[in-house]
Amino acid sequence: MPREVFRLRNGAVLVADRFVASTAAVVVAVGVGSLYEEAGKRGVTHLLEHMLFRLPGFDVDEAVESLGGTNNAYTQRDALFIAFEGISESAAGLAELAYRLYSNEKYAEEDLKKEKDAVLSELRQTREDPSERAGELALRALFGDSDWGAPVGGTPETVEELTLADLLEHKRAWFTPGNTVVVLSGGFGKDAVDMTANLFGKLEGRAPSKKTPSKGRGPRLIEERRDVDGVYYSLAVEVAAGDAAAAHILLYGASFHLEAGTKSILFNLVRNSGVAYSYYVDYDAVGDTAYLAVVVESARSLEEARRAVEEALKPRSPPGYRLRFFEYLWRSSWRSPLNRALTLAEYVIKGGDPLRLEQAIEDAVKAGTAWLEGRLVQRGEAAVVPG
């Protein structure tokens, strides 16, 4: 059955991506993240994501497992995602549960304290992990003290000061129909579509106009010395975006060629050359801004890591065998209702057409990294080094 897109009368978007599968996924995406937070309330979206699962007198995890499913949630710079996957016959129940989390406004202060402690623990782990720290610092080196340079989860100082009133104000402002995308994917029936359309079609309100996230010029290089074995290096480059959805998919394709498989660019330049064993790629695109970052973990020297990443980011057209390898990975991934639902939700929340997603991805993979030619705006580097 072809994918269907329903634009509900209140402005909410429902994507029904039905295909033969024994499981079904329900993903709700809300168009708000760290880029739209006030500087003094950094991390409010991420903390709200944690609190969504705290319904007083109701065990969300037990309810999900009784429906034969699992749940998760994610916060990005421009969106918050609530994700469920379970046996196909429970799809309508999972949609109902997703709506209950979305619409609930009753939270307990004691639950806020528990979730705040959990978030603060996450933030400490990020700061203590030299790999994640290098990636975070590279964005600050690139964009400076700005919305784009700030960490998605906020800082311990800002999170500590957040109140229940802050979370409710944030939720009431942004959890509105015109700012919401719901995706059903996998083996669901008409009952799940009807249930989702009826529940999310009842929503009211309008989100505030989104500001243009600030971005500055950072110090270009941030170096942090600590007790580590090896060098953790990151290079982040701002990319001229134009259209966020299109740039996001192009970066998706570039990321595949940079890091996936034993013939990837970074495998050849970093692993095969002995510079380091592991690495990862991070990217995002919102509005007219996009970035691509590469992190090399526990490298034997800073200069070798820097040279390898510089070489990796040179524009390249992919050889034919890489396209066949991507086809293998894509077929494997695209059988998962949850992977499909999350990919669709992220694309739509950035303004993409869900009916054109597969074609956009195919085109992006064929483009490799050649499209980066002439589109790099500025750069920032970070290193966590022994000392």
Q: What is the pLDDT of residues 192-201, one digit of tens each?
A: 999 999 999 9
Residue 230 tokens, joined: 């090896």
For residue 290, the one-letter residue type is A
Residue 338 tokens, joined: 């949850």
For residue 126, the one-letter residue type is T
Q: Do 240 and 363 have their domain in common?
A: yes
Q: Are strands 80-87 and 278-286 parallel, antiparallel or unpaired?
A: unpaired
Q: Which residue has the tokens 């750069």?
A: 379
- CA–centroid distance for 132 within its chain: 15
Q: Which residue has the tokens 């699992």?
A: 70
Query: Around Cβ 203, how many Cβ atoms within 10 Å?
Result: 19
Residue 208 lies in a domain: no
Q: Do 18 and 146 have their domain in common?
A: yes
How many structural domains are present in the chain?
2
> What digits encode the pLDDT tens for the residues 39-76?
999 999 999 999 999 999 999 999 999 999 999 999 99
Instruction: Give the CATH number of the domain where residue 346 resides.
Output: 3.30.830.10
Residue 55 tokens, joined: 């319904």
Q: Do 129 and 226 have their domain in common?
A: no
Residue 339 tokens, joined: 């992977």
Distance CA 54, CA 167 (A): 13
pLDDT tens for the chain, 387 residues long, are: 689 999 999 999 999 999 999 999 999 999 999 999 999 999 999 999 999 999 999 999 999 999 999 999 999 999 999 999 999 999 999 999 999 999 999 999 999 999 999 999 999 999 999 999 999 999 999 999 999 999 999 999 999 999 999 999 999 999 999 999 999 999 999 999 999 999 999 999 999 999 999 999 999 999 999 999 999 999 999 999 889 999 999 999 999 999 999 999 999 999 999 999 999 999 999 999 999 999 999 999 999 999 999 999 999 999 999 999 999 999 999 999 999 999 999 999 999 999 999 999 999 999 999 999 999 999 999 999 999
Domain coverage including residue 335: 221-386
Is-above-0.85 flag for pTM?
A: yes
For residue 165, the one-letter residue type is A
DSSP lists the bridge partners of residue 280 as: 295
